[in-house]
Amino acid sequence: MNNKVGYLIRTIRHLHVCGSKLGPSFRTAMRTYTLGISRSKSTIQSVNLRRFLLNVPPWWLESSLRLLSQRVPVYSKEDATVREQNATKTLLDEHVQSSSSALDPLEEDRSVVEENLVVKSERSQLQQFFDDLKKCVSPCDVLDLVSKSAISEKHCSNCFTTMWMLIKKLSEDQKHYEKQLMVKHPAFMQLCQHLMQESRSMWRDDLVYSLHAVLKLGVPQNTRLVQTLLRVCQERLNEFDDQCLSVVATTLVTMEKSRNVDALQAGLQLLVEQRIPKISNIFMLQSMMKCFGKDAPLSLKRKFEDRVLKELDHLTPLNAQHMFSALAAMNYCSMPILDASSKKIIENIPGTPFWQLIRVLKSCSILRYRNVVLYSAIANYVTSAICMWDTKQIVLFLSAFEGLRFRPVELMDILAEKVTSHPESLNLKDILSVLRVYSLLNHVPKCQNQEFLESLNGALNKYLTRISNVDLLKAVYSFCILEYLPQPALSQLLQEDNLNELLKSDGLNKEQNEMMVHYVNTCLELDSPLSFTKPATMFIKKPSSPLVSDLPEVREALLKLLGDERMFQQNIQLPHDYNIEIITVFGFRVAILCSPLSAFCFGTRHPRGKLAMKMRHLKALGYHVILVHYQEFKKLKKEEAIECLKGEIYSVDAFPVSDVNLQDNI
- pLDDT tens profile 145-155: 988 877 776 78
**Spatial distance between the Cα atoms of 569 and 583, rounded to a whole number of angstroms:** 5
Q: Lowest-confidence range among 83-92, 283-292, 373-382, 544-553?
A: 83-92
Provide CB contacts within 8 A for 322, sequence distance 6+: 283, 286
Total residues belonging to the chain: 666
Averaged confidence pLDDT in the chain: 80
**Spatial distance between the Cα atoms of 321 and 344, rounded to a whole number of angstroms:** 9
> Does 81 or 620 have the greater pLDDT score?
620
At 433, give phi and psi (nearest 5°).
-65, -45
Question: How many other CB atoms are found less than 10 A from the CB of residue 255?
Answer: 17
pLDDT of residue 556: 85
**Spatial distance between the Cα atoms of 505 and 558, rounded to a whole number of angstroms:** 45
Question: How many other CB atoms are found less than 10 A from the CB of residue 333?
Answer: 15
Where residue 570 falls among pLDDT bands split at 50, 70, 90?
A: confident
Residue 542 has pLDDT above 50, yes or no: yes
**Spatial distance between the Cα atoms of 335 and 322, rounded to a whole number of angstroms:** 15
Residue 8 has pLDDT above 50, yes or no: no
> DSSP state, 607?
B
**Spatial distance between the Cα atoms of 407 and 293, rounded to a whole number of angstroms:** 31
Residue 74 has pLDDT above 70, yes or no: no
C-alpha dihedral sign at 110, 111, 112, 116: positive
**Spatial distance between the Cα atoms of 279 and 310, rounded to a whole number of angstroms:** 11
What percent of the chain has pLDDT above 70? 74
Where residue 188 falls among pLDDT bands split at 50, 70, 90?
A: very high
Where residue 533 falls among pLDDT bands split at 50, 70, 90?
A: low
On whether the CB atoms of residues 383 and 411 are closer than 8 A, the answer is: yes
Q: How large is the average pLDDT for residues 154-166?
A: 90
At 572, give phi and psi (nearest 5°).
-105, 140
**Spatial distance between the Cα atoms of 272 and 245, rounded to a whole number of angstroms:** 8
SS3 572: strand
Where residue 248 falls among pLDDT bands split at 50, 70, 90?
A: very high
Closest listed residue to residue 558, CA positions, set 549, 548, 567, 546: 567
Q: How far is CA 260 from CA 197, 368, 569, in A?
A: 18, 34, 64
What percent of the chain has pLDDT above 90? 53
Q: How far is CA 3 from CA 16, 48, 55, 114, 528, in A?
A: 20, 18, 18, 13, 92
- Antiparallel, parallel or unpaired: β 589-595 and 624-629: parallel
Closest listed residue to residue 370, CA positions, set 611, 605, 598: 598
